[in-house]
Every structure is written in structure tokens, then in C-alpha cells.
Structure 1
Amino acid sequence: MKRAGGRLTGTTAAITLAATLATALTTPFTGASTAGAPAPHLRDYLVFYADGAHAQALKAITGNGGTVLSTDPRLGYITAKAPTGPGARFVEDLAADAAIAGVSSDRRIGHATALPAAPARTGAFPDAKALLGQAGPEPLAGRQWDMKMIGATADGSHATAAGAPTVLVGVIDTGVDGKHPDIAPNFDATRSRNFVTDRPEDPNGAELDGPCEFPGCKDPADWDDDGHGTHVASTIASPANGLGIAGVAPRATIVNLRAGQDSGLFFLKPSLDALTYAADNGIDVVNMSYYVDPWLFNCKANPADSKAEQLEQRGVITGMQRALDYARAHGVTLISAIGNGSTDLGKPRTDTTSPDYPLETERPRTIDNSCLNVPAESKGVISVSATGPSKRKSYFSDYGIEQTDLAAPGGDEYDGPGDADITRTILAAAPEHVLRKEGLLTSTGDPKSPAVVRDCRNGRCAYYQYLAGTSMAAPHATGVAAILIGRFGEPSADGVTMPPAEVERLLYATATRKACPSPRAYAYRLGEDTDTHTCEGKKSRNGFYGRGIVNAAKAATIPR
């Protein structure tokens, strides 16, 4: 069983990968209020009930002033509406009832952004045309040190087992640009879903997602206004089509299961919906490069937290574990990024960034190894740390002997001689409209930053971006899982199916073992700063690399 907390909040080159439980869905409360005090509001809650306690939970909700809206018997929770604000004690009163396993308010609770890595050295970023003919049919393959490391190349796994269209890979993220020229051939628009609605502002009037781009603030299922999900999907399964790059499994099918807002926020309810949809619709493997908060570390009974806060954290742990269990029981292999906090997750001591919603409510609190990062430390999830080009653990990557299952390329701009170099991070597809919004393109479409590459072939142009993080590592493992499922999966009504335990076994069996560094206390030099991480364990399994670095070439050839 995995333990300890984790986070996907990085430093300089690492992307911040945060998440949320749900959006603030508040409406005016029409009842009486205390004289001189503001009237309370109604808020939606997800109330998770104990096994066999549905009826008792309903009584507890209505008895404490709540209104039942719906029940999801698959995951064992009730959606309810109840007063919130000054004097409201709905959550506190529920906490005393044995029928209640956790309560998560349906509100925004975090943020996530994708940032380009540090600037490249002068001359370190040649034009795409300079790489033509260097590395096979994909023009930008020469930049993909990550694919070379794991053997996912034209003369490697692509030649023997490149995945299969019957393998359905769910990307639970900020969305996928299904019209991107280097994603569209493998994108399944029919199966893809968007489980969120854009919210221009948060409850306090601060900009959240910004102006809505589509009627009803509901983006189509082939849209990504953040770029993070598109980058992840591209690493997994960009096709070998003579344009740009190819992913780890270039023949697998990408299904967008959007659970993140335009702003990069993630909510609990969309995450639950994405996992249950994956389970009920034949998805074979999902990639989860995010975490659920407002609590960076979710602690069930931390004395530093109020009873209501403890119940909220139990709701995160309980709700996601039920959804993950449901998905795994229906044949979905679960893969997650481990986090970018440069932290030994087996020895957490303090959490200074929680709760991160409402805004500016963070406070330092003491934590211990009973606290969990979700979903990276949830049961049944394969958690992936990141490496740089030399195969050292990336400086930003979380680690831990109990937490790390596998490692994969995630980038590290400091992993090499001289100054930081952006080409040591991961190149994958980026939506053009996102790059324009971020000011990374000129009016004529030329890249303004070394973080961006444009490749044009036969009248088609596509954009790519360098990013770093364990968020970039996890999709490499997901792509290798797709290769294994394509080879060994059994025919099913939705394509193929393969028991997640068997996928996990083969992922571990094909990984390249890597021992801890010597000395085990490895000192990272980050410009003028130094940070030391200590690796525990043996070559067969350790806190930096888990069972080893994923190996697509071996996965493509290993006998079952």
C-alpha cells in the first residue's frame, strides 16, 4: 500500500500540476439570516456514505438541513445541497455520523499551469529544417531523446509493435486538441467527452477560465485551452505520419476524458465522472497527470485540521479510491504522475501550500506519512517519476521507496554541462490557439520562443512545445502500456481488453532496472542552488526509479 503525500507543483522548469474537488456552485439562500449578518448560500456537496449505509446517510443529510439531489450507487455517494457560510454547520454535523465516510464541497480548490522550461543556450535550438533526414520518417524525431531512451523509435518498438487502433487510451486532463494535425489521425471524437463547464470567474470575481469560447461555456470534446492534455496525448500516441513527431504507441487510439478547466483546474466530480466513463466504455488505460486538492497532502485525522477539513480530505481519498477501484475492476489500467515537489513522499514533514482554496488561505501544518497525494498514492495506481537525458532522476521529481513504481523521461534542463538547456525537456504537440494566447507566436505564426517548434509538410503546419515534469513522464509509461495491451489484449466488444494486473506485471518485467546513485545522497546543482535527495532501496526497486525506466523496445518483443 502506498503512503505519504505528494504534489505536482514544480520549480522553474517543472510544470505545476494541481487539481480541484469541484466548482463553487452557490445560489442565494432565501431563508432568514441573523440580523446584520450576510445571508447564507447553498452549496453542492458530494457525500460519500459507508458500505450499506445509504439510507442512514440520506437521513443524516436531510436531518442536518440538506436537500438530496442524486445518488451514484457505483461509487457510493450522494449529491446534496445545503447552506454554507456564517453559522452553517452542515459538514461539521455530518462528521459525527458513522454513516458518512467523507464530504467534499462542490467548489473550485486549486490551480494548474503549464510553463515552458528554462531558456535555451544560444545556438542550442536549431530550426526544424536542420534536422530533416536525421532520424527516420518523423522530421522532429532528432529532438526526441526521450523516445530514444526507451526504444520507441522507427527502428525500435515502432517497427515491431506500435500499439493498435483497438487500444483505447483515455487522457484525463485539460482536454485534447483533436484537430491538431499530429493527433487527429488517432483521435476518437465519438468516444471523447468533456465533463466540465467553463467558469469565466471564481465566486469572488477573480478570472478563472476567462471568457467562454463556445455557447453555454461548454467546450467541444476535441478542444484544449490549456495545452497540457494535448502534450500528454501527443507523447502517448502521435501517429507516425511524416509530420512532427511520433508518440510511444503511434497506432493507439486517443480518447479525451476531460476533467480539467481551461485554467488547468481539476474538480473531484469531473474526475469521478471520467473514471466511471472509462470503466463503462471500454477504455484500456488512462493517464492522470494531475492531483486532487485543496490539500496537497490529504490527511484523514490530522489534529492541525478542523473536523470539517478532515472530512473533506477523507472525501478526496475515499471518492477517488472508489472511482479508481471501479475503473480497475472494469479493465482500466491506471497510470499517474508522481509529482514535482522534489520531495521524499515517504518522509513528509510540513505542508505550506494547503488548503489552496479559497485563495490565500494556505497555512503551514505538520503532516506525517499517513497523509496521501491523490491519485498518485491511491491503491491500484502506477506512479511514475521523471528522468533527464542522462537517466538521472529529474531534480523536480518527487520520489520515495513506497511511492515510486516506474520511471520515464520527463525532462531536466539542468541535466548536462553548461547552462540550462530547454532541449533537455520533452517535445510534444501544442494547440496553436494556446500558443497564440500565450504570446509565443508572431502574427504570421513564427515561434517567438525556443520552447516552441513549427513543422510544415505538404501544406500542413503543426506546433510543438518543450515542457518538463512528471506529467511528461507518465504518458511514456502509458504509451508502453498501450503497446502491451495491443500485443496481448483479448478481443472485446469495445476492441481489446487486458487485466490491469497483467499489464502492470509486464510493465515491471520490461522496465530497465536502474540502481540508486552512488553516493545515495545525490546533490543537484541548480544554478547557484544545491538540493540533495537520498535514494533508498535496491536496483530491483528503489525510491528514485521504482522497478526501473520503462522500455518500449522490450515491451514490443517480450513473450508473455
Structure 2
Amino acid sequence: MRRLLTGATAVALGVTGALVMANSGTATSHKEVRYVVAYAEGSSAASARAAVKAAGGEIVSENSAIGVATVSAGEDFAEAANASSALVGAAQDRIVGANTPEAAGKARKQDVSNVETEFRDAKGSAPKAPKPKDSSEPLSGLQWDMKQIDSAAANKTERGKGVRVGILDTGVDGTHPDIAPNFDAELSRNFTTDIPVDANGDTVDGPCEDEPDASCEDAANVDENGHGTHVASTIASPVNGIGISGVAPEADIVNLRAGQDSGYFFLQPSVDALTYAGRNGIDVVNMSYYVDPWLFNCTNHPADSPEDQAEQITIITAMQRALDYARAHGVTLVAAAGNQAIDYTKPQTDATSPDYASEPGEAAYVRDLLDPESCVSMPTEGNGVIAVSSTGQSERKAYYSSYGNGFVDVAAPGGDVYDNPAGTRDLTGAILAAYPYNMAVEEGAVDPATGEVIAPWAVADCSSGTCSYYQYLQGTSMASPHAAGVAALIVGEYGSRDWSGKTLSPKKVEKVLLKSATDKACPVPADYTYVRHLPNGNTATSTHTCEGGEGPNGFYGSGIVNAKAAVTR
């Protein structure tokens, strides 16, 4: 994996603990803005706080474990903070107290390829689950993904009991019948606050009063997006006679919510969630996202203003510190490779960043990234992070999955609805996992009057007397949790007991995960052309080049994760 070395080890701070409330000054501008600042290495906490105050900022909260603080200040704060030797820089978060938009509703962050739900325009009936041949879960016949990684064979001897898996995502529906038995409500936390609108007045998470709890501060067992619940279910849905089973069906699910309802993920929640994971005995975390607003964070791109350069340096520095902290405290870090269908080791063009307006008038612009070494996507390209690409049913790399020789560490099933002989859209080629009932109703998948599924991307299991709901999604976001689940099995199988249950060093987990993966060579020829016959009658083609031959290689890394091989001594 290519790395950008930023000297991002934790600074020596004269404060213990992690989240500390402190006041250090007063905002100096008429418009209050929220910033995230990283303290410079070698600076004391006192000198960094003084620098914040001198720049006109007031510390709202401080993550003293890694030297990062959230600051409230005026619009002129960033320039002063970036000039201070006691601070790495400032990343603007959002304007505080923006007006609620007239238009109700909830926007969704759109991925570059928008692949996860690109089949939501499909009509017809939901797919029926083949009757299980054994005592498997009722919908196990639809879980081709678990067959691909041989999870059933692994679960005969290892199910992840005593292992804690942190879900850094949009939240987890802890009340879902196929999640609740493994959901750790006591440890789960929500590190976010809903944002009704951005600086341009555009809808982000939507008016808080329109949400089920009528609040901008959601409980730690809530997911008003659905993404995090799907991820958690893939990792650790229990074997309980309901719906499906996850890769590690007895692992504990810990919701460490770092994402907005809309799917945006910002810096402060991400670093706070990671440090929390390190302090609370979390063994594995799954990160199926990149930190907004920059898909790629560049330290010195000529198209970026000095303020934007400092912001991206701050994101890289703060995230790497948090990743280092978590890994040093026993947390194995697993992340999605991305759905941009690009080779991360080659020059690219980023036309999507910044994707969130933290100041009025801000909009994305085109940057030619000619030197792949100078720009990184966080957290996936952070040091110590296992990057996971996506496969379809035939084991080919999914058409949307990003790749790159030296970037991808392993591959795992993430779905590909066009991976079939005809090259036409088949929803069962995606990944089935838990769907929050409220989201299923809001998105038109379930009739609230009858509980009936009315959309082909959703499936219900009512065999227990109470219906639980599931949805099809595809993406590297769905591949990463399969690898995280196998990592949980590895901790369960080879780890030792400690105060939190089980523990195993992330270095050993990664070694077993990569060594046990099933070798998968590059296609022949290595220039693989995808042909997709779209529902509108058009045909889409794209060619991706796999470098590395039999492996490791750019499509599959060390291979497709294999649960059985991972726990076979």
C-alpha cells in the first residue's frame, strides 16, 4: 500500500484522558465556525491551547490522547492557526446554527459511481430464498457471499465469541431482531450530531424535527441511513433462527457512529471513535467510508489554496494519529477500497472534492493528481489499515471496485449485480443484510400498513412471528465487513483472554488474514473489460488493468478472504 509519511505519531501532551472540555478564548468574528485543529508534534497541551486562544478560537472539546481539538471561532481563525508553530493546521468543519431549509427531506451523499443503491429503480417482486438444505438461517440460501468465503465451515469451530467489533459507520439499529442479541448497548456511542443544512443552505441530514426522535442527537442504537446496520449484520448477525447469519455470529457489535444520516463522515467523529475503540477493548473496526470533504487529501497541490492545503494536512495528521493510537491498543483496522473504479497507484483526476460546503459558495473543482504518492484517501490509505477490494459471485473484481497493486491488501465479496453470463442487472448479485424497519418504510421498500415488502431490493423474514427486514446493497462498503468478520474469527481462534474478552495483536491478525486468503490471479488478459447491459437499453464498458499476475496483485491483493482457512490451525 502506498503511504504518505507525515510524522503523525501522537504528540507529547501534558494531559491524560481523551475527551476534555476546555475554554481557551472567544470567537472573534460575527460568524461562528467549527474547526478541528491538530497540535504540532512536540508541543505541550498548554502551548497548543494558548495558540488556539491567540488565533481567536475557543476549544469546545479536546481529544488529548492524540492532540486534536474541536474549536469554535470566527472565519479568520484558520489563517492564524495555520501560521502557528504550535499547531499543524485547522480543518473547517461547519458553520454553526445555519438556517433550516424550506425543503424538507434528507439528502444523500453520492459516491462517485453511486453503485451501492443504483438498482433502486428496479420494479417487481423481491427474490425468494431457496430453502436451506440444513439448519441454516431462513435466508441463508440468498447468502452467496458467505459461501464464497467458506464461513459456514469456519463457524463449526469458531464464531467470534468474546470478540468486540466496532462499526464506524452511520449507526447501527440495535433493535433489529437479527442484530439485537449481539448488540453491546453499554459500549456503543454516537460521536455525531445531525446537520440539517450545509453552509450553502443545502439539505444535509434534513430537519431534525422530522426524524422519528425529533432530535439532532440520536441514541447509540439508531441508524437513520441503513448503511451501518447492513455492515454490522454482515459481520455478526447471530445464528438465532431469524434471517441471515454473519461471518462471526457470536461477536459483539459495538456501534461507534462516526457518520451523518446523509452518509458524510467528518474528521472529529472519526478520530474520537478510533481513540474510544482503543481505550475500550475493541478488537476490530470496520471503516467503509472516506473522511469528507476530500476524497484525496493532498499536502501541496498547486490547485489548492493555502487554507485547503492546511486542512488536508490536518486531516491526514489527525486521522493517522487516531489510527496509530487504536492499533497500538490492539485494534485491527479494516477499510473499504472505494467505489471509484480507479487504480489508486496511478495518476487520477479528482473532480469531486470538496464534496461538502463548510463555507458559503464552496464547491468541488478539478484537480489532476499526477503524483499518486502525494495524495491519500483516509482512512483506507492510512498506515496499518487493511484495504479491501470487492468481488462478485463469479469471484471477478466488481466493476465499480477501486484497485491497485500495492494498494489492495485482500479482496472479499461486496456484490456485483452485473456479474452474470448475460451481463444484465440481477439484484441477487448484491449482498443481503439487515435493513432498519424505519428506513425500509421511508425508502418505499415496506408498506407500513401491512408490513409487506413492496420493493425488489428488500426481503422479509417473518418465520419467527415477527418480521425482520433485509436489503440488497453492493460496494466495497459491503466487502470490507466480510474481511472484518474474518478478522474477528482470527482473534477468537488465536487470541488470548483479557479484561475485554479476547485480544490478539493487529499485526498477527493481519498476517493470518493475508496468509489464509485464497489466491486469485489476475484475469487473462490482464486488461479486463467489463460489459454491462443497462436496464435503459444502453451498454456500458470499461477496462481495468490488473498488475501483479498470480499474486499479490492489484485486483485481489493477497487473495479473497477465507474464513475456514483463517481458523484452521
TM-score interval, smaller chain: 0.7 to 0.9
Q: Quick check: 1:439 aligned with 2:444?
A: yes
- Contact 1:124–1:423, Cα closer than 8 Å, also in 2: no
Q: Quick check: 1:555 aligned with 2:556?
A: no
| Whole-angstrom CA distance in 1 between matches of 2:382 and 2:510 | 15
- Contact 2:122–2:456, Cα closer than 8 Å, also in 1: no
Superposed, 1:26-425 pairs within 5 Å as: 40-54=30-44, 55-84=46-75, 88=76, 90-107=77-94, 111=109, 115-118=116-119, 126-128=127-129, 131-134=130-133, 136-153=135-152, 156-164=153-161, 166-210=162-206, 211-214=210-213, 216-358=215-357, 361-367=363-369, 368-369=371-372, 370-418=374-422, 419-425=424-430
Aligned AA (2:485): G
Query: Could you say what secondary structure the match of 1:80 adopts?
Result: strand
Render the CA deviation track for 1:26-60: whole Å, top value 9, x for unaligned: xxx997xxxxxxx7412222221221123543443
Aligned AA (2:545): T
Render the CA deviation track for 1:287-312: whole Å, top value 9, x for unaligned: 00010021111001111101100000
| Whole-angstrom CA distance in 2 between matches of 1:65 and 1:110 | 34
Aligned AA (1:316): I
| Whole-angstrom CA distance in 1 between matches of 2:122 and 2:83 | 59
Query: Could you say what secondary structure the match of 1:355 adopts?
Result: coil
| 68-77 or 500-509, larger mean C-alpha shift | 68-77
Matched residue, 2:2: 2
| Whole-angstrom CA distance in 1 between matches of 2:250 and 2:69 | 40
| Whole-angstrom CA distance in 2 between matches of 1:135 and 1:318 | 50
- Contact 1:186–1:238, Cα closer than 8 Å, also in 2: yes
| Whole-angstrom CA distance in 2 between matches of 1:246 and 1:127 | 17
Matched residue, 1:12: none
| 455-464 or 391-400, larger mean C-alpha shift | 455-464
Render the CA deviation track for 1:353-412: whole Å, top value 9, x for unaligned: 111121761111121311000000000000100000010000100001121000000001
| Whole-angstrom CA distance in 1 between matches of 2:185 and 2:167 | 13
The offset of 1:72, in angstroms, is: 2.8
Q: Quick check: 1:516 aligned with 2:514?
A: no
Aligned AA (1:542): N
The offset of 1:158, in angstroms, is: 1.6
- Contact 1:120–1:422, Cα closer than 8 Å, also in 2: no
| Whole-angstrom CA distance in 1 between matches of 2:253 and 2:461 | 22
| Whole-angstrom CA distance in 2 between matches of 1:357 and 1:81 | 19
**Relative to 1, partners in 2 of residues 1:125 and 1:71: Cα closer, same or farther, differing over 3 Å?**
closer
| Whole-angstrom CA distance in 1 between matches of 2:138 and 2:396 | 27
Per chain length, whose mean CA-contact separation is higher, i.e. which structure has more relative contact order (CA < 8 Å, sep 6+)? 1
Q: TM-score, normalised by structure 1?
A: 0.88
Q: Percent identity?
A: 53
One of 485, 495, 510 as aligned partner of 1:479: 485
Aligned AA (2:368): T
One of 429, 433, 455 as aligned partner of 2:461: 455
- Contact 1:121–1:420, Cα closer than 8 Å, also in 2: no
Matched residue, 1:17: none
* Structure 1: runs of 5 or more not aligned: 5-28, 32-38
Query: Could you say what secondary structure the match of 1:234 adopts?
Result: helix
- Contact 2:126–2:459, Cα closer than 8 Å, also in 1: no
**Relative to 1, partners in 2 of residues 1:100 and 1:461: Cα closer, same or farther, differing over 3 Å?**
same
Aligned AA (2:399): Y
Q: What is the RMSD of the two structures over their aligned residues, measured on CA atoms?
A: 2.3
- Contact 1:194–1:258, Cα closer than 8 Å, also in 2: yes
| Whole-angstrom CA distance in 1 between matches of 2:121 and 2:169 | 28
Aligned AA (2:363): T
When the two structures are aligned, how many residues end up with a matched partner?
518
| Whole-angstrom CA distance in 2 between matches of 1:146 and 1:318 | 36
